[in-house]
Structure 1
Amino acid sequence: MTGSEADAPVLFHTAGRAAHITLNRPKALNALTHEMVGLIDEALTGWEQDPAVETVVITGAGERGLCAGGDIRAVHDDARDGDGSAAAAFWRDEYHLNARIARYPKPYVAVMDGIVMGGGVGISAHGGVRIVTERSRIAMPETGIGFVPDVGGTRLLALAPGELGTHLALTGAQFGPGDALLCGLADHYVPSAALGDLVDDLAAMPVRQALAPRTQTPPEAGLSGRREWIDTCYSADTVEEIVHRLLAHGAPDAKEAAETLLTKSPTSLKVTLAALRRARRLGSLELVLDQEYRVSCATLTSPDLVEGIRAQIIDKDRNPRWSPATLAEVADADVERFFAPLGDRELGLAGTTTATEVAR
């Protein structure tokens, strides 16, 4: 491999029967760019037709994680200084890739070691074989930057037991391997020390055979002991009522969750709750991605996206000035506009039924 190849944002190679994708921006925690999405999609196209490739494996370079999400600095700059078309084009291709991964005809093995957030969840948790380790730290933290969970995340979290997904989506809380398995975002727990041998074995044997001697019982799922207050409080119909129930419940963790919610974008919280509830009814991943595309494009005209990224990523003052500043100021009509049809700009993954079914 030449120096220029080694510096590429995504590395590809085959070893025996396995093809490998390595996200290669370790200094940026392997954050996804539009270019990376295109490169991955192109590779998947080639491997799908290659009879010598039986398994696809995705990992992240460096020691910190698989992928910390999308390149939100680029989104920030486009929303602030551009017309939003670059961000919309990125999401269009990214969401198509998410859907493709979910339907990929060959085993797609996602090694979710270390940090896996936002767009990193999209390129891993839709895969057929999802591996977590003791180092896994997973989150959909979008409400903290004035955004809304996307990349199919609202469907993944909507399918989690009870209201666990609602809690994780609204608070943006990080969770470990046990909770990832409990919530349905992972399938197997493998100690990180065994990953190298596992990946090596995939060159010569089927996934199930390579996994069998290395899969272990995962650490306890911390959320399982909080189901009572989570299910009780997050089943409310509004974010205001969720916060009220959390504060009134009495459990210290519930109070802490309420305090966390009150630091997030009020608009993002309300849109996220609506998106999750609608995702439960929509059913297919493609319909949910179509909905998420509408929501994501709408955030480009919301002041909270630019302000949230500024506060958390650009200036790092951690003091976003949300507009509106309170939940009470976010009207139902303000939420509804995020779900408005896009006309000829629809994502269109679900075909001609999308416009009517997503709007319900």
Structure 2
Amino acid sequence: MKSEAAADEPVLFHTEGRTGVITLNRPRALNALTHPMVLRIEEALRAWEQDPAVGQVLIRGAGERGLCAGGDIRAIHDDAKAGTSASAAFWRDEYRLNALIAHYPKPYVALMDGIVMGGGVGVSAHGSVRVVTERSRVAMPETGIGFVPDIGGTHLLGRAPGLLGTHLALTGTAVGAADAILCGLADHFVPADRLPELTAALADAPAHEVLPEYSAAPDPGVLAARRDWIDRCYAADTVEEIVERLLAEGDPAAGETAGTILAKSPTALKVTHAAVRRARGLGTLERVLAQEYRISCNVLRSPDLVEGIRAQVVDKDRTPRWSPPALRDVTGEDVARFLAPLGPGRELELPEPPAQR
């Protein structure tokens, strides 16, 4: 893969020693992913997969604010508002990339420094070597914009200990280094000021040899101490009952969590709850991505998606008017429509991996 040094390129590729380096290069947009970026990353990964001179891959974000804040949701907003289907094409290629990363045959090192949300989780947390720092804020915040966790997020969260993943999926809470590691979203903690040294060291040696020198213990997180009430409350069968249990706990943190959930899209909450539960039984990431693609395409026609992005990103008034406005108004039939098949030729079809990671 040839080096690309043009400062205005949205994603840069070069090699340092035996490491192929991907730099997401839209710092003003928090390195948000666009469709062309996804295609270029896949192209580079497939080329490096066949290149014996490349022993491992590293992905990082330009600037100091984060690896990637997700997909370009303004573009999704415009697509949904216009009733077009560009987002479906983007998701199809993005989810293909997520599956490629998850089963990449060479070490895939993700520097999850700063903000790592939505699509940023997709290009990092499926990797084989995931590094967080004291600045990391990792989240799947989709319910706050009327969307549902995707990019294999329901697969990752469904595998988190106990019901921590359901908690993160419904609330969209951003977690720090210790909690990201606890939930299985990351593997190693490295202080942010040592990342340049780590990156330089990776040019000369494989990740498994280098990381012990740079890894440390992160400051304690908050989820381990809350695990009892999280597991107890989120074991409920419905989102309404989860909220009731949280309010009945008598713990201020549980009460705040109930309020957080109630601010999200009622429809997105119920579809997310169903999606995470179903993901646990689907087995492979590929099957979960197929389910998520179905949901994402169906959500594209939901009024809450346009309204949620309007309120949070476009107008920024932070007062979305959800439709329907309350959990009790979202029926089982409503949820089933989001999980319904798209029809012949429209589904996402991914080959099953030869062996589950």
Residue 148 (structure 1) aligned with residue 184 (structure 2): no
1:161 corresponds to which residue? 161
Q: Distance in 2 between matches of 1:163 and 1:2?
A: 44
Per-residue CA distance 1:258-286 (angstroms, 9 max, x = gap): 01111100000000000000000001000
Answer yes or no: is 1:239 the counterpart of 2:232: no
Inter-partner Cα distance in structure 2 for 1:267 and 1:212: 44
Match of 1:16 in 2: 17
- TM-score, structure 1 as length reference: 0.96
Runs of 5+ in structure 2 lacking a partner? Answer: 353-357
Q: Secondary structure at the match of 2:263?
A: coil
RMSD: 1.3
Instruction: Determine what percentage of the aligned residue pairs are the same residue.
Output: 68
Which residue pairs with 1:355 in the alignment?
none
> Partner residue of 1:75?
76
SS in 1 for 2:317: coil
Structure 1 segments, 4+ long, off by >6 Å, are 1-4
The 8 Å contact of residues 287 and 350 in structure 1, kept in 2 or not, is answered as: no
Q: In the alignment, what sits opposite 2:335?
A: 335
Tell me the distance in 1 between the aligned counterparts of 2:185 and 2:261.
23
Aligned to 1:125: 125
Q: Distance in 2 between matches of 1:224 and 1:350?
A: 36
Matched, 1:250 2:254: no
The CA deviation at 1:212 is 1.4
Unpaired runs of 5+ residues, structure 1, are 352-360
C-alpha displacement of 1:87: 0.3
Instruction: Report if aligned partners of 1:239, 1:269 keep a CA contact under 8 Å in 2.
Output: yes
**1:283-315 Cα shifts (integer Å, max 9, x gaps):** 100000000000000001110000000000000
Aligned pairs (5 A) from 1:1-360: 5-83=6-84, 85-343=85-343, 344-350=345-351
Counterpart CA distance in 2 for 1:57 and 1:237 is 41
Structure 1 residues 5-58: Cα deviation after superposition (integer angstroms, max 9, x where no partner): 211000111011001000000000000000100010010011000000001000
d(CA) in 2 for partners of 1:74, 1:201: 38
Do the aligned partners of residues 300 and 209 (structure 1) sit closer, same or farther apart at CA in structure 2, a change above 3 Å counting? same
Say which SS state the counterpart of residue 67 (structure 2) adopts: strand
Is contact 2:118–2:139 with CA below 8 Å preserved after alignment? Answer: yes
For residue 306 of structure 1, give the secondary structure of its aligned residue in structure 2. Answer: helix
Distance 2:135 2:270 in 1: 32
- Letter of the 2:291 partner, please give it: Q
Would the aligned equivalents of 1:9 and 1:25 in 2 still touch at CA under 8 Å?
Answer: yes
Q: Which amino acid aligns with 2:130?
A: R
Cα distance, 1:82 vs structure 2: 3.5
- Normalised by the size of structure 2, how large is the TM-score? 0.96
Cα-to-partner distance string for 1:221-256 (whole Å, 9 max, x where unaligned): 210000011000011010000000001110000000
Is the 2:3–2:15 Cα contact (8 Å) retained in structure 1?
no
Cα shift at 1:2: 11
1:349 and 1:324 map into 2 onto residues whose CA distance is 34
Secondary structure of 1:22's match?
A: strand
